[in-house]
Amino acid sequence: MTEGNFVDYVKIHVASGKGGSGSSHLHREKYVAKGGPDGGDGGRGGHVIVKGNKNLWTLYHLKFKRHIRAEHGSNGSKQRSTGAEGSDEYIEVPLGTVIRDTETQEIIHEITEDGKEYLIAEGGMGGRGNWHFKSSTNQTPRYSQPGIDGTEVDITLELKILADVGLVGFPNAGKSTLLSVITAAKPKIADYEFTTLKPNLGIVEYRDFKTFVVADIPGIIEGAAEGKGIGHRFLRHIERNSTLLFLVPADAPNISEQYEILLDELRRYNPEMLDKDRLIAISKSDMLDTELKLEMKHELDKNLGAPYLFISSVAQQGLTELKDRLWEMLNKETS
């Protein structure tokens, strides 16, 4: 998936269909005297329905759809014929999509199951035809009900990626490189900050044909929760990850301090993120010799409050151990 095709936030105006009007028809037929009222009911207006689709990964297909309208119901006709119902309009979204009311920002629903449908705008009911209103005292009603108007609402679709592991780190920590090595993903990699401007997903192939999904989240900087850098726009993608993998480069001035800054940004965005399992990977560790590694381990054991390991994506060092640790963390409840 290219960066330009990844869309995780769209606003749409949706409108359901209006119900058809009932008919005021009076029966006319040769040799049938005073046939009476036989006007049929109007058809229901079309619904607007949001449906989960596991084959979608982005909201790109909705990027240029600002208005979605369902079909109106048809009017009733003679011989008590009910008008046709308006066609329902389906909005297919990837799993992990949150539906909000744009005006109130209230969460309407979350789509997390494939094929699950949620009614966003209900179609208007069709009006009743005049044959419903006949009685002993009113044998020839010449009136019927109009159809009920449909519903209009502005909604915001917000995608939160459904991944098992979320990569968290400062710009240029090596997240994209790691993703490109342990998965088949091809994220943009370059020697400057904020290379990744959109989240990237990759599937890690583990032993015995087992897999898990890793999401590379655009780099966080100190103050991201206040909108610095690219802000906290992409932090919502970490909310659904069960495990967080923090990447801190081995040449960082202070590894423990960088980890605490990242942790603090997550805490300020959503304190519940700190309840997730955490693992720290010291990236670019191929530049360390054995003596320097032992010295760093001594410091990290004292100051780092989470499990860690040394890896190098370029030199392919420590990656098997990393996969093993992540798999254990993801499956510790079922083991």
313 is in an annotated binding site: yes
**Annotated binding residue at 215?**
no
**Is 286 flagged in the annotation as binding?**
yes
Asked whether residue 141 is marked as a ligand-binding residue, the answer is no
Which residues in 247-275 are b (16+ Cβ under 10 Å) and which e?
bbbbebeebbebbebbbebbeebeeebee
Annotation-wise, does 74 bind a ligand? no
Per-residue burial over 22-35, b = 16 or more CB atoms within 10 Å of its CB, e = otherwise: bbbbbeeeeeeeee
146 is in an annotated binding site: no
**For residues 97 and 158, is the Cβ–Cβ distance under 8 A?**
yes
Task: Please indicate if the annotation marks 195 as binding a ligand.
Answer: yes
284 belongs to an annotated ligand binding site: yes
Strand 165-169 with 152-159, pairing: unpaired
Contact 241, 201 (CB under 8 A): no
Is residue 326 a known part of a binding site?
A: no
**CA–centroid distance for 10 within its chain:** 11
**Residue 65 marked in a binding site:** no
Q: Token match 């979320």: residue?
A: 166
**CA pair distance 113, 169, nearest whole angstrom:** 30
Would you say 144 is a known binding-site residue?
no
On whether 169 is known to bind a ligand per the annotation, the reply is yes
How large is the angle between the packed helices 319-330 and 175-182, nearest 10 degrees?
A: 90
Q: Which of 323, 70, 43 is nearest to 178 (CA)?
A: 323
53 is in an annotated binding site: no
Is 218 annotated as contributing to ligand binding? yes
- 176 labeled part of a ligand binding site: yes
- Is 172 one of the annotated binding-site residues? yes
* 58 labelled ligand-binding: no
CA nearest neighbour of 82 among 23, 25, 144: 23
Taking the mean position of all CA atoms in its chain, how far away is CA 255?
33
Q: Is 322 annotated as a binding residue?
A: no
Q: Is 174 annotated as a binding residue?
A: yes
133 is in an annotated binding site: no
24 is in an annotated binding site: no
Determine the Cα angle at 85 with ends 81 and 91, to 5°.
175
216 labeled binding residue:
yes
Distance CA 293, CA 318 (A): 13
The residue among 216, 114, 113 whose CA lies nearest residue 163 is 216
Binding-site residues for Mg(2+) sit at: 176, 196
Binding-site residues sit at: 169-176, 194-198, 216-219, 283-286, 312-314
Binding-site residues for GTP sit at: 169-176, 194-198, 216-219, 283-286, 312-314
